[in-house]
Amino acid sequence: MSDLAYRRELDGVRAIAVLSVVLFHVGYPDMTGGFVGVDIFFVLSGYLICGQTYMRLEAGTYSVTEFFARRIRRLSTAYALCFLVTALLANAFFLRSEMGVVADGFLGSITFTNNYNLLNSVGYFSTPAHENPFLHTWSLSIEEQFYIVLPMLILLTRRNRVTFAWLLSVLFVVSLALTLFSGDLIYDREERFFASSFRVWELAAGGLIFLVTYHRLIPAKLPLMPLVGLALVVVPVKFLDASYLYPGWATVLPVLGTVVLIAFAAPGHSWVAKALAVRPMAYIGRISYGTYLWHWPVIVGALYYGVTLTDEIRAVLVLVSLALGAVSYHFVEMPVRRISVRGEGKKRLYMLFAGQALVLLGLAVYLMYQPGKAGAGEDARLEALKAEVMNVHPGWDACWGQDSPETFCTLGVEGEEPAYVLWGDSMANSAFEAFDAYGEEHDQAGYMITKAACAPLSGAGTKPDCIAFNDRIFEYLESAPPMDVFLFARWSFYAEGYGHRGDRSGQVALLGPDGSAAEENFPLFAESLSAAVARVAEKHRVIVINHVPEFPTSVPKSMLRTMRFGSEPLNLTVEQFESRTGRTVEAVRQAAEENGAVHVAPAELFCNDTVCHHEVEDVPLFIDNVHLGPRGNDLLLQAVDAALETEGQ
């Protein structure tokens, strides 16, 4: 026997995995840990692929060419069709400026490298996830990389199944150790989340539990274990969220739960196995591959069109994803699966794959060099809006990371000694026009001191070079004559650990003075901001500028889409703003007031009693979802002047 027996209850586990991911991605508030569905998939894939490989090695029937033929038969056609359709639709409707991300994602997806493409592009200034229809393929890329490496391991072990088992164990131990014990060394959350080295142990865990059960190294029946496994899988879906370092210790829960279900939820052993094997669950498991492929492009399309994610819309998106998964399963996947992996069938599969590869690579080249048609017919109003949006000050790139008076960018009038300093991250940089005008207004000169993703904190920062940069600025301020020091940053990014994107992109972990990552950002943020204000206030007047509204998507792009499609305008209620930034706003206010600093609350001008404004007279206040444009700078300057006037200037 060289094939694993079909286990219907494992399709039920797949159903839990895919529903967790889809419900998480559509934004159900009770599914904050739905991203663990990917980990469940990894374990199941490792179990099936390693199990089939091991059994064929044992039977002496293993063939590398047949292995890849099976992968082509199982995965490639549905994969190719979904991405072909998605890329063509994006090229038809996305703006030209958005197609670069689409083209990169498409190329990364079809070459099974999208996890590394995302690792190198996701971050503080990255495109929001819901503008990248290929974001979800990072996990498929990791699986495909494993499938490519696995035959190489087998060749290295000379098809010896014992050596193969030992090598699989080594992979598991090394990758798991890296995941669990490198938190203080590898603090970049994107690297941890997307890099294959932090995920291999999950696939290997599936392979190892196959070996354990196949050789009957544990009892086959322990009545409580299926319930324990189910709890370990389901509980993280409810209680994990983006604040956890992931993958990390928390990842052990869903992986262990899946392993336990594989080992003990066998047919007839428990009611858990029976529940997982009921027809609806098993069917959703069978269509899970197509559902996973299609769900993210469906969500991206809806959000791109401007659809508001109400509970009813979320339900519709889930049902549409399942329907497309069913269509993919019955009309794309199953017909191809009937082709044999031997003889002429194998040749047909390789020819099919070659044809798909040529079409997809050709489209990738086209997308890379002919990025989009949607902008070709834009009217003068759209062009004027884009011109306004792009009116960003010329110092945006030149002023980053300058840490001495000789290299600081200057503000206000020329030829005067600086009377004020604007210090912060990219939020401060986007406020260049406001503080340049402030200097002109008060006949003063000033300095702008900014570093990307680096808030003005004392004893904390996003990276060691951020902490070192801030230390140099503190040293400068301690030696400088008394002046006004304005502190302005995207505070909630550091306090909460992620941007307002509705996903895990742009995560940041705060590091403490010793360089180790904080278990939770908020306490360290509040402490280090208060310490920074107190430290600067010893010699200077400090003005702390609190949060501006932070929108879930790019304001100018949303306005362009509303004009093109007639979709609902972007809307951010005060309740949503306070829910996202409430405790951060309070921490910033306290840091200012408790240390004798002036507190500026720009949200009072950007928001009324019910909603926060994203435009004035059809001109956007922001250049993206949070950084200020020219009109936003006008409002910020009004807020600063009002606060200083109230203070008695």
CA distances from 536 to 230, 485, 487, 532, 539 (A): 53, 8, 10, 6, 6
Domains of the chain: 8-369 (no CATH), 394-547+575-609 (3.40.50)
pLDDT per residue as tens digits for the range 6-47: 899 999 999 999 999 999 999 998 899 999 999 999 999 999
pLDDT per residue as tens digits for the range 95-119: 777 888 899 999 999 999 999 998 8
Residue 309: name the closest of 28, 613, 614 by CA: 28
Residue-level pLDDT at 125: 47
Residue-level pLDDT at 402: 81
pTM, whole model, 2 decimals?
0.83
* Cβ(595)–Cβ(420) below 8 Å: no
How far apart CA 463 and CA 186 sit, in angstroms, is: 10
pLDDT per residue as tens digits for the range 246-273: 898 999 999 999 999 999 998 776 889 9
Residue-level pLDDT at 580: 85
Positive or negative torsion for Cα 608, 610, 611, 616: negative
Residue-level pLDDT at 105: 94
Residue-level pLDDT at 380: 47
Residue-level pLDDT at 124: 46
* Cβ(388)–Cβ(420) below 8 Å: no
* Cβ(527)–Cβ(588) below 8 Å: no
